[in-house]
Chain A
Amino acid sequence: MRRYESVWVVQGDLPDEDVQSTIDKFSRIISSHGGTLVGLDDWGRRKLAYKIKGTTRGYYILADFAGTSATVKELERNYRIDDRIIRYHTVKKSDKVNLEALQAEIAARAQAAAPPAAAPPPPAEAAPSPEALPAAPSSEDAASEEKTPTTAKEE
């Protein structure tokens, strides 16, 4: 098992249901092809640096997962099939995965996401930001990867 992160960009002018359905679809593909989803990070709609297929905005979603080459292959095959996806990018974060540490990280993320999700109705927006701090001490590169999307979101 290797640790990967994958970013995909949904066309920005599509409604939120379409975005949510891509999240569901690709999360399912990861978990049904020998992968374990560690966390999702929703960057929201952002302006693209250049036009893609005539659109200037895109909805960015980052999935952090552990899996094998088959997981990534299947995921990327489906990215190419789906018309709503305008860009995707998958990066290997590390070659080895410690399964116990992975479970602990998933639990920590779930715990961090749970309290805000229980109180206010929109959990999708509330989830990524509060988990950034508690998840950080678990591993070193988790700290650096958590930092960047939140700063990018402010832009």
Chain B
Amino acid sequence: MPVMPRRKRKQFYVRRKVCRFCVDQALSIDYKDANTLRQFVTERGKIIPRRISGNCARHQRRVTRAIKQARLLALMPYVPMMPPP
């Protein structure tokens, strides 16, 4: 009698993330374009890791750099102004 697996392994369907800058060549990364860069920070203003955003290494570096440049010019916050809890 074959041994039945006690618990069925949970299946993970990992959807392969693709770098959106590689897919769409027309998209540019620019420190002046704070609205686009805002997609790559959390609401706390932290830069979203590559693991989650799906960016490739090259584009993640550029996004990171652009965000830091935008922060310097006060186009993006280092720490957003939060309403009191």
- Residues of the A chain whose Cβ atoms lie less than 8 Å from the Cβ of B71: 49
What interface size band does chain B fall in? 10 to 19
Mask: chain A, 41-62; 1 = CB below 8 Å from B; 0 = not = 0000010111010000010101
Expressed in whole angstroms, the minimum distance between the Cβ of B74 and any Cβ of chain A is 4
- Residues of the B chain whose Cβ atoms lie less than 8 Å from the Cβ of A145: 30, 32
Q: Report the number of A-B residue pairs with Cβ-Cβ less than 8 Å.
A: 49
Task: Please give me the residue from chain B that is nearest to A5 by CB atom.
Answer: B32
Task: Please give me the residue from chain B that is nearest to A154 by CB atom.
Answer: B35
**Given A89-B69, A144-B28: A52 in contact with B34 (beta carbons within 8 A):** no
Expressed in whole angstroms, the minimum distance between the Cβ of B61 and any Cβ of chain A is 16
A91 touches B31 (CB 8 A): yes
A49 touches B35 (CB 8 A): no
A21 interface hit (Cβ, 8 Å)? no
**Given A89-B69, A91-B69: A152 in contact with B32 (beta carbons within 8 A):** yes
Task: Please give me the residue from chain A that is nearest to B29 by CB atom.
Answer: A144
Expressed in whole angstroms, the Cα–Cα distance for A148 and B35 within the complex equals 9
B35 touches A155 (CB 8 A): yes
B33 interface hit (Cβ, 8 Å)? yes
Mask: chain A, 128-155; 1 = CB below 8 Å from B; 0 = not = 0000000000000000110111011001
B63 interface hit (Cβ, 8 Å)? no
- Residues of the A chain whose Cβ atoms lie less than 8 Å from the Cβ of B30: 144-145, 148
A75 interface hit (Cβ, 8 Å)? no
Instruction: Pick the interface stretch among B5-13, B47-55, B75-83.
Output: B75-83
Expressed in whole angstroms, the minimum distance between the Cβ of B76 and any Cβ of chain A is 5
Mask: chain B, 4-48; 1 = CB below 8 Å from A; 0 = not = 000000000000000000000000101111110000000000000
A49 touches B32 (CB 8 A): no
B77 touches A49 (CB 8 A): yes
- Of B31, B33, B77, the residue contacting A151 (CB under 8 A) is B33
A48 touches B74 (CB 8 A): yes
Expressed in whole angstroms, the minimum distance between the Cβ of B71 and any Cβ of chain A is 7
A49 touches B76 (CB 8 A): yes
Can you give 13 contacting A-B residue pairs, CB < 8 Å?
A9-B73, A9-B74, A49-B76, A49-B77, A49-B78, A50-B77, A50-B78, A87-B74, A89-B69, A144-B28, A147-B28, A147-B33, A151-B35
